[in-house]
Structure 1
Amino acid sequence: MATLHSAPRFSAIEGLKDTLATALSAHLVEAGEEHGELSFTVERDSIEDVLRTLRDDFDYQQLMEIAGVDYPARAERFEVVYMLLSLTKNNRIMVKLAASEDTPVPTVTTLWPNANWLEREVFDMYGVLFAGHPDLRRILTDYGFEGHPFRKDFPLTGYTELRYSEDLKRVVYEPVELAQDLRQFDFMSPWEGANYVLPGDEKAATPPVDEPKTTESPKQTGAGKKTDAKAAEKVSKGAPAEDDSGKADAPPPEPTEDRPSRKPRKGKTTDTKAATQPKAKKAPTKKKPAAKKPAAKRATPKKKDADE
């Protein structure tokens, strides 16, 4: 029995490149396959017609991403990449085009509304212009930002920095001032040591290791007969503790307290819970209120006879 899955099957790439290349031949510059995915480079001014054909005729329904790439050495330094997804075929393709700072790319917001933010991001990060875009302005950087951060020639520190000024009570934009210069690192082995003098090393006066210090005579060390005789003298000579009175040491004094001895404990007193822990006090139990006795019935006087 065949098992049916809800997920669509992967469409075979074999033959798909030729099919799409034939359909896009009027606008195609180059077709290739990399990492199991098809990529097509097309003319810049034909991008809207190309994507409409792929959407309507080949079921690439979704525009997943628009990315930018910077190649500063090229005449047209930027490359705009459109990534399409076919839900029915479970297949992805990439469509590329080349652009420069002065050559705008036709917008594809007429085909997919989500291209609005995607094109704004490429404009913000790379500076690529999109002709016909309804609201082409920055989307990630701050107001008044200079330059485009994803360009290869954009400095790592940027051009301006902002801080809050206590005097002006607002955010201030200023040119970038580095707090310290970029350090120069060397990759020498720490066991070999650096080939330059580190700050502070010039103050350390190290004695020559090859000339060990020796003592030629006892005078240099302070030793000798006179020193030995002086060291043999007792420092505590003449102290009261040194005088011997000839009497025996006095016995220790008798205890002054008269305390009755404790009664021995019953049972073992080592490693027992009763010997090491006090007895827990029982919580006082509440007395139940006494049940009320039923009230005695009062005796009702008998009615007098009618004769009385």
Structure 2
Amino acid sequence: MATLHSAPRFTRIDGLKDTLSAALGDHLVEAHEEHGELLLTVHRASIADALKLLRDNHDYQQLMEIAGVDYPSRAERFEVVYMLLSLTKNSRIMVKCSASEDTPVPTVTTLWPNAGWLEREVFDMYGVLFDGNTDLRRILTDYGFEGHPFRKDFPLTGYVELRYSEDEKRVVYEPVELAQDLRQFDFMSPWEGADYVLPGDEKAATPPVDEPKTTEKPSDTGAGKATDKKAAEKVSAGAPAEEDGGEDAPAPEPTEDQPARAKRKGKTSDTAKATEPKKKAPAKKKPAAKKAPAKRKAPAKKKDDK
């Protein structure tokens, strides 16, 4: 019997683009489907109103993630992407807006409390400011860290490194020291190979063989009729298991005698009476012995009685 459920089994976006586009109205910049998901681009100033409308009127109850993207060549280089989930419709959509380094994005902490942590992460990694977030601090890097690691123009090795100094009893920043070898990469194709010899490859530089050794006749390889005959011989020939083999021996007699059971009384159909033990009659209680009446004491004789 099929079980009906209010939520569909798979996400369906047929007609969802037109429905949400009409609902967002002037807040919407662009809507398109990509990789089986609906992506909505809204104005930066309207992001909080657009998300509130999707949450309250279209059942996108949960904010799953806030992610940042960096496009350095654009005038507004950053994109802030909000990923929403509808539990009742089993539907996921993405809503995004653009921002620059000095144009803050309205916070959505008034809609979802978990947005506070997610906005702090985007601020820490990309440097996007969120207007209205009362606790916009770094969350993954150190509070004194300079720069934002997920920007495309951030140096891969960095300029400074931090460590705990036992002498000063605090965390100190020092210029980066690349103590390891082979820290310079040429970004060549790994299939083409480098122009220089890598460490360890000098051992593989062996001279080519001028004339490889070949066998001129089968006797040089050890093959022949004698070898084939030897290979056909049974390896286990002469083993005790081969010589003693024959008919299967009968099963051994039991070593313990089982006492014969007493014949069951009663009919086979009367299983309860035949199998249940007989109940013993309850023992009769002995009557309690009667106590003898207590002897009365003789009255004391008066002095006048003689």
Could you tell me which runs of 5 or more consecutive residues in structure 2 were left unpaired when the two chains were aligned. Answer: 203-306
Alignment correspondent of 1:84: 84
Name the CA shift for 1:9/1:155 in 2 (closer, same or farther; >3 Å).
same
Structure 2 distance, partners of 1:121, 1:160, is 21
Larger Rg: 1
Q: Write the letter of the residue equivalent to 1:130.
A: F
Structure 1 position 134, deviation (Å) = 1.5
Aligned counterparts of 1:20 and 1:172: Cα–Cα separation in 2: 52
1:127 aligns with 2:94: no
Q: In the TM superposition, what are the counterparts of 1:53-92 in structure 2 within 5 Å?
A: 53-92=53-92
Residues 188, 194 of structure 1: 8 Å contact kept: no
Shift of 1:183: 3.3
Query: Is 1:102 matched with 2:102?
Result: yes
CA distance in 1, matches of 2:117, 2:110: 13
1:2 aligned partner: 2
* C-alpha displacement of 1:4: 3.3
Q: Tell me the SS of whatever aligns to 1:25.
A: helix
Cα–Cα, structure 1 residues 174 and 59, in superposed 2: closer, same or farther, change >3 Å? same
Structure 2 CA distance for partners of 1:19 and 1:124, relative to 1, 3 Å: same
Match of 2:20?
20
| 1:145 to 2:124 alignment | no
1:161-206 alpha-carbon deviations (Å, 9 max, x no partner):
112334323332112232257335677999x99568x9xx9xxxxx
Which whole-Å CA distance do the structure 2 matches of 1:23 and 1:33 have between them? 17
Whether contact under 8 Å (1:146, 1:159) holds in the other structure is no
The DSSP-based 3-state class of the residue aligned with 1:145 is coil
| Structure 2 Cα separation of the partners of residues 128 and 112 of structure 1 | 19
In structure 2, do the counterparts of structure 1 residues 73 and 194 end up closer, same or farther at CA, with 3 Å as the change threshold?
A: closer
Cα offset, 1:18, TM superposition: 0.5
**Does the C-alpha gap of structure 1 residues 188 and 176 become closer, same or farther in structure 2, counting only changes over 3 Å?**
closer
- The total of aligned residue pairs comes to 198
TM-score, normalisation: structure 2 = 0.59
1:27 and 1:46 in contact (8 A); partners too: yes
**What's the secondary structure of 2:149's corresponding residue?**
coil
Superposition map of 1:182-221 within 5 A: 182-183=183-184
Whether contact under 8 Å (2:7, 2:88) holds in the other structure is no
The offset of 1:72, in angstroms, is 0.4
Asked if 2 retains the 8 angstrom alpha-carbon contact of 1:10 and 1:89, the reply is no
User: Mean Cα displacement is larger for which, 169-178 or 67-76?
Assistant: 169-178
Query: What amino acid sits opposite 2:105 in the alignment?
Result: V
Deviations 1:215-252 (A, max 9, x none): xxxxxxxxxxxxxxxxxxxxxxxxxxxxxxxxxxxxxx
- Native 8 Å contact 2:7 2:89 kept in 1: no
Q: Is the 8 A contact 1:28 1:40 kept in 2?
A: yes
Distance in structure 2 (CA, Å) of the matches to 1:44 and 1:99: 7
**Cα drift, residue 46 of structure 1:** 0.1
Residue identity matched to 2:167 = D
**Distance across 2 between alignment mates of 1:53 and 1:183:** 51
User: Helix, strand or coil for the counterpart of 1:39?
Assistant: strand
Equivalents in 1 of 2:190, 2:117: separation in Å?
48
Name the structure 2 match of 1:116.
116
SS at match of 1:24: helix
Q: Secondary structure at the match of 2:144?
A: coil
Deviations 1:117-138 (A, max 9, x none): 0000000000000001121111
Residues in 2 aligned to 1:193 and 1:130: alpha-carbon distance in whole angstroms: 46
Contact in 2 for aligned 1:158/1:176 (Cα 8 Å): yes
Distance 1:3 1:180, change over 3 A: closer
Separation of aligned partners in 1, 2:89 and 2:100? 34
Find the aligned partners of 2:66 and 2:189 in 1 and give their Cα distance. Answer: 41
The CA RMSD measured in Å over matched residues stands at 2.8
